[in-house]
Amino acid sequence: MAYVVGLLATDGCLSKDRRHIILTSCDRQLVQTYLECLGRPIRWTVVRKRRRKPAYYAQFSDVAFYDWLLSIGLTPKKSLTLGAIDVPDCYLVPLARGLLDGDGSISFFRDRPTRLKYPDYIYERLWVFFLSASRFHIDWLRDRLKATTGLHGYVERIVRKKRRDLFRLKYGNGSRSSCSGCCTQIRARPVWSGSG
């Protein structure tokens, strides 16, 4: 369930009618995994916009689940208002994986910095990024990951002309071994205690 919450906090939407929960993604497998985690029928609508990839739109009505999502920190129009998510420490990594799959990215590349002197030396670089329009949410995630896992990340501001700035939480090679759990573990446990 924590993984699902992470997806909804990034690619999801709580409808104003206080009933419907919506997830939209260009990744069909992601939408299917989301529905499977919830035990929902595997149904979605394909939305096609001009010059864009098709998006997969999954919506269902569940008042109790909607209210629970509100109680842990998700909100309608969450892009700028999202802050702390009330998640127990034992579910933080699966939550972070959902956030990563929603609005994050992983970059990995190899470099040969001293090709002439040490032709066999290869330096591997791994970067993990979490992205949000809410500085409060990014700061909260950085602080919780540091307190719970010991990861040390830093926040960058991405300035965009005539648009709101974005904030990117970045982890580099020093956090590689700790990040591996976040990158490989989808769900630590099938049910988040208190989710109903």
Q: Which domains does the chain have, with CATH numbers?
A: 2-184 (3.10.28.10)
Fill in the amino acid letter for 10. T
Question: For 74-82, what is the mean pLDDT?
Answer: 84
Q: What is the pTM of this model?
A: 0.81
* Chain mean pLDDT for the chain: 85
Question: For 41-59, what is the mean pLDDT?
Answer: 88
Q: State the burial class of residue 103 (Cβ atoms within 10 Å of its Cβ: 0-12, 13-18, 19+).
A: buried
pLDDT band at 186 (very low <50, low <70, confident <90, very high): very low
Q: State the burial class of residue 122 (Cβ atoms within 10 Å of its Cβ: 0-12, 13-18, 19+).
A: exposed
pLDDT band at 187 (very low <50, low <70, confident <90, very high): very low
Q: What is the pLDDT of residue 194?
A: 37
CA distance 60 to 22: 7
CA distance 31 to 43: 9
Residues 6 and 100 sit within 8 Å (Cβ to Cβ): yes
Question: For 79-87, what is the mean pLDDT?
Answer: 89
List the one residue out of 195, 12, 174 whose CA is nearest residue 91.
195
Helical residues (DSSP H) of the chain, grouped into ranges: 2-11, 28-38, 63-71, 78-81, 92-103, 135-149, 176-184
Q: Is the pLDDT of residue 143 over 90?
A: yes
Of residues 118 and 76, more confidently modeled: 76
Q: Is the pLDDT of residue 16 over 60?
A: yes
Q: Kindly state the percentage of the chain with pLDDT values over 90.
A: 62
Q: Is the pLDDT of residue 182 over 90?
A: no
Q: Is the pLDDT of residue 181 over 70?
A: no
Question: For 77-88, what is the mean pLDDT?
Answer: 88
Radius of gyration of the chain (CA): 18
Phi and psi at 96, nearest 5°, equal: -60, -35
